[in-house]
Amino acid sequence: MKLQGTVALITGSSSGIGAGVAKTLASKGVNVGLAARRIDELQDLLTQIQQTGGSGLVIEMDVTDKVSVQKGLESLIVKFGKIDILVNNAGSMYLSDIEALKTDEWEKMVDVNIKGVLNVAGAVLPYLMKQNSGHIINVSSIAGRKLFKGLSVYCATKHAVSAFSDILRMEITPKYKVKVTSIQPGAVATELQQHTTDEKYIASMKEDRKSMIYLSPEDIAASMVYALEAPDHVDVSELFILPTDQAW
């Protein structure tokens, strides 16, 4: 896909991977829909993008709310006339042992990581199928293929994203020419790890930071650009991206 002039919706773009992807795609000439709940952060990001010659739109969106998703998507299409790319990035991660029974945190991860991905994909797909083109990138995780203690529910949600992505590719790509990519990052320097409330795992993550250089959001964005710019006959269906020193 030639990125210049295309339109992308990026969920969870108020910080971390989403913000890095938005800036990278905007630098490639993509009109970026910046979707998240934190409007002030999105506005700051849009200002940065515009100062470097990019174009975008702030979209207040709660991916767990279908009405919010549809309203936000429609505002993007009114602004730019189409959508070509979906980066399904919004996510939530809480570490704890199962026996701690942090069920509220379990539900938040299921709502954002699974239902959110499905809500946004379900809203965007009719447009992409109608135009017989486009690209959906779902951000899974290394936890979408491997299992880790303390990440039981997070692993379950990201395994769901990986499974949905692969079957989406099987069913949609041959018929509608809509490519699907699952990105599975390892350790990335984002706010995601700050969600955890369990003291044991907070300490563990601090130790991990001492043992390796974490990936940056821009590293993940570069992998997405690689997938998006692949020739028409190439579908980069899955990418693992890990810090060189990450042993797990």
Active site residue: 154, 176, 214, 226, which one? 154
What is the predicted pLDDT for the residue at 206?
62
**DSSP character at residue 115:** I
Within a domain: 248: no
154 is catalytic: yes
Report how many domains make up the chain: 1
Query: Tokens 């699974």, residue?
Result: 114
Planar angle of CA 172, 174, 180, nearest 5 degrees: 50
Question: What pLDDT is attached to residue 195?
Answer: 66
Query: Residue 103 domain-assigned?
Result: yes
Residues of the chain with pLDDT under 50: none
Per-residue confidence (pLDDT) for residue 171, from 0 to 100: 98
Q: For residue 2, tell me if it sits in a domain.
A: no
Phi, psi of 180 (to 5 degrees): -135, 130
| pLDDT of 21 | 98
- Residue 53 maps to a domain: yes
DSSP string, 72-111: HHHHHHHHHS---EEEE---------GGG--HHHHHHHII
1 domain-assigned: no
User: 56 CB contacts (<8 Å, ≥6 apart)?
Assistant: 22, 26, 31, 32, 33, 34, 46, 49, 50
Taking the C-alpha atoms of residue 89 and residue 18, their distance in angstroms, rounded to an integer, is 6
> What is the structure's pLDDT at 8?
98
* Predicted pLDDT at 196: 65
Look at residue 78 and tell me if it is in a domain: yes
Domain contains 247: no
237 with 180: CB under 8 angstroms? yes
Strand order in the sheet with 31-36: 55-60, 31-36, 7-11, 85-88, 135-139, 179-185, 238-241
The answer to whether 23 touches 33, Cβ cutoff 8 Å, is: no
How many Å apart are CA 220 and CA 216, to the nearest integer?
A: 7
Rounded-to-5 percentages of helix, strand, coil across the chain:
50, 15, 30
**Does residue 234 fall inside a structural domain?**
yes
- CATH number of the domain where residue 186 is located: 3.40.50.720
Q: Domain range spanning residue 190?
A: 7-241
Is the full-model pTM beyond 0.85?
yes
Comparing CA positions, the residue from 138, 139, 237 lying closest to residue 188 is 139
Q: What are the tens digits of pLDDT across the range 100-154? A: 999 999 999 999 999 999 999 999 999 999 999 999 999 999 999 999 999 999 9
